Chains A and B, each alone.
Chain A
């Protein structure tokens, strides 16, 4: 006997929601999925009327679904947002060049302007070149640090009010676990915020914060959305991989685990007497940093001086290494 849709619409269910276990038909699932994001956006007060919002688009499933859903919701509930796509080209042959094609397709389909910024033009180094210099180990440090700043630079160029990223519930739960494992209490508190506002940068928000990865895939599958799903060709971040596998194990045991972890993250407080790093600006590039010289500048400096390992690891060690170099003033940007 076919199972009926639990929303009592009379149709047969075609799927079981990974998040709640309810059985739904295709139409009701679309409604549930979109309404949940709508409720996240309105409850979290993510956007104001008239905002220009940059969608950080990688061409992957999360950002593709985010672009689609934001467009639908913007039209349906009159958010009055101007949506633009912002992509970062890390310069990874065989990976990013392909995924950017997907973003180009999205641009045409959703009729949104698209801006692509490349590491090459921002930093003078593409990831291919960096890997040739650094090797397969630790190259994710470069990519991650550079991307964070690249998004900010791109958003400033586009003059937007806010950047929307495709982080989903799984990503956030994973980050909570990672920060506990790494002992990073400052980030542990920050990572569950739905909007992150740092002085001097453009606010970032995560409209998919409470959306399960599995449901995103489901939505893309039923809507036949085109997305790019290849893993990065350079070594994947091994340590995060452990947290990811652990989270998947937990989800299998109890699907609500992901939400439970986010709930834990949201309700945890840091003791008052714990010293958290002060946030200032980088003396070289003026971007937000907790150190005198930000990580991006440090890494770049290492690359340009032919000491690619310079910025990897503790900042204090890098400072020492830098001070011992001849003529530290001769920094090249």
Chain B
């Protein structure tokens, strides 16, 4: 199968340029994030607070437009030579912030660097289907994958291009502190634990960046972030709980921005150890959880109901698989059938997850006759148990999953494919379907596979989709910005209203 994709980037640039012209005298934009970036090396940590900052320093090979379609950024077009070989044409008018020209060599180097096991990148699993990449001339990169890999383009949206020469000169450690990219902003000063200051790259190839200076501050306490926004110390704040939106809406000069994301709130249910090995117990759990109450009351509508572990922006999402209706009587019946009255279920959690949500679910399960105890630990211990052997992995956990690749392969493959560290479930039929869906480029075939896979998950309930999560931001009323489903925070998409 061969597909040729050409991008409409010129149009996008024109649009961006016009918003840039509408700029006012606002020179410094201040953004409060809950944490400081873990790394500024884009090939290392991938978490929201890190990439919110560093993705403004770098350009990506591909990106997504406003509608969520994959379009080129550093690549202008790409062609599948065969199922496992793809050729990218690279822009020849892009320079890094140190003035050197960005070439196909840098693109190939960036790919080889992130797939090099020696780098120990936490993002390795997202890219390890790539076998190799070579620059065949100054503007062409040929990439091969180990097998046909349909999520490749979606994954490459996350690949930042780093300068080969500079990286080789200074080494990874120094690069992390003084990164150089080709993006709209260059690192000004990184005051560890306090703030990261970015300076506009005036020669940026797409358009003039909208603000001269952008300051990302680490403000862990949400009340402080809200106070900063209200008093004008911050122009944009991330990670608000729905309960806090009212006070921002009520304040003049501030507004709430929210967007349905690809992130899905879900329950993990251990199918390989404890009382939940009985499928009737797992189904009873599904019937016992009142998802609409969670969304309406706790999330205050900042969430949408889903029947599967997946959300509409994700490839493979289907609304044709039935969900479990809230039916506590049915749940009690199943528990009785399974002889699991009063079964002790351990609910793992950590401070990273909403305490209210966990406690609300605990109560719903206790109401139908389970005895659920919450085991809260730090995130590291939580992950160790959740990813460890089934006997020690508790019975339940809540999670909010996003692969930032908008593909079911990044969700239900790692979560439930037997052999994956997250999976506490094994079903050969299911494995065959998700394996097949990740090794063909045929979209219809993939959709059909995922639909069947989701049907199996519905029957077996090794996990339960609860809701599509919304990203909620607080912003100054003058900031123009449309947050996106992949939770990126590109300054180039923002502007200031006079």
Answer yes or no: do A and B interact: no
